[in-house]
Structure 1
Amino acid sequence: MELEPKKRYVTCGVRTLLFNHRDEILVGRRIDHKNRLYAAPGGNFEFGESFEDCAARELLEELNLQLNHDEFKYLTTLNVIYLEENFHYLNIMMVARITDEQASTIRNYDAEVCQEWEWIPYAEYVKKKDVYHTFTYLYQQGYDNIKAIYDKAGIQV
């Protein structure tokens, strides 16, 4: 008897690289992954959403952070393929830089998925090995330094 092939999945979502004025990125340890890898906030599109709609909804749902559409900047699209899991994920990468006042509203509203959220200097974060594949793909596109991200996204500092 032949085994059925493992089902393949393709989906699309938004991740937001959220920075503060100290050039730290907000990342969370994912409980839903066996290795508890670091990931940026985000999730899958709902029908009819724009990039900004999805990013804003996910930040509100996960972090209690409310941003306006004009605070999000498009960075790139990542074509992330997990061959072992038969999973193909298109990541729309958005960037936002927030104030300390905005950051003070952040709460972990997604505790069943994310252990905790923490601010890590981006220059240190890019050296970490325990991150989602998304970041590997991001670094391959040249976004392993914050200046490249800010320049491409048009963020003035």
Structure 2
Amino acid sequence: MSSTESLPKVGIGIIIRRNDGHILIGKRKGSHAPYYSIPGGHLELGETFEQTAIREVMEETGLTITDPMVIAITNNLRTYREEGKHYVSVVLLAEHGGGAPINREPDRCEGWQWVDPNHLPMPHFDASEQSIACYLQGVHYLKA
């Protein structure tokens, strides 16, 4: 194993908030199954956090978001303990009118739904659960 393979990776998570306060959640298949999660993915070389958020949301849901804003960071140690993959995730918040998302990656997601962030479906992916907790508590980071 090279030294770079043992370094934490950077994930991007996007909380998409609809006008009524509900947020978009998908049920993962394959990687991170059977967990529910906000949209997200990997930061690519040379991308800003905002560019990654816009790209990932379009790739996964077909929704267009504008002006996503960084609101939190998470250290995903539960995933590291369970899967041996260590991620630090940058969390962004984006507003959306609430149009119907399209499941553009059916091999990775069972489908998308708008949910009340105070009543998340379970089981929930570590990074997503921490991200939503930061959002609800109005904090940028939750100490482990």
**After TM superposition, is the score higher than 0.5?**
yes
Q: CA deviation at 1:121?
A: 1.0
SS, match of residue 76 in structure 2: strand
Identity of aligned residues (%): 24
Structure 2 match to 1:11 = 9
SS, match of residue 122 in structure 1: coil
Structure 1 match to 2:60 = 62
Structure 2 match to 1:89 = 87
1:143 aligns to 2:138 (yes or no): no
Q: How many residues in Structure 1 have an aligned counterpart in Structure 2? A: 134
Unaligned runs of 5+ in 2: none
**One-letter identity of the residue aligned with 2:134:** Y
* Preserved contact between residue 31 and residue 115 of structure 1 (Cα < 8 Å): yes
Q: For the residues of structure 2 that align with 1:130 and 1:50, how far apart are their CA atoms? A: 30
RMSD of aligned Cα (Å):
2.3
* Preserved contact between residue 22 and residue 121 of structure 1 (Cα < 8 Å): no
SS, match of residue 107 in structure 1: coil
Structure 2 match to 1:98 = 96
Q: CA deviation at 1:83?
A: 2.1
Deviations 1:9-38 (A, max 9, x none): 621121101110111111000011475110
Change (3 A) 1:43 1:73: same
Structure 2 match to 1:109 = 104
What TM-score do the two structures reach when normalised by structure 1? 0.75
Equivalent residue for 2:123, pick from 108, 120, 130: 130
**One-letter identity of the residue aligned with 2:60:** E
Structure 2 match to 1:120 = 115
Q: For the residues of structure 2 that align with 1:144 and 1:74, how far apart are their CA atoms? A: 11
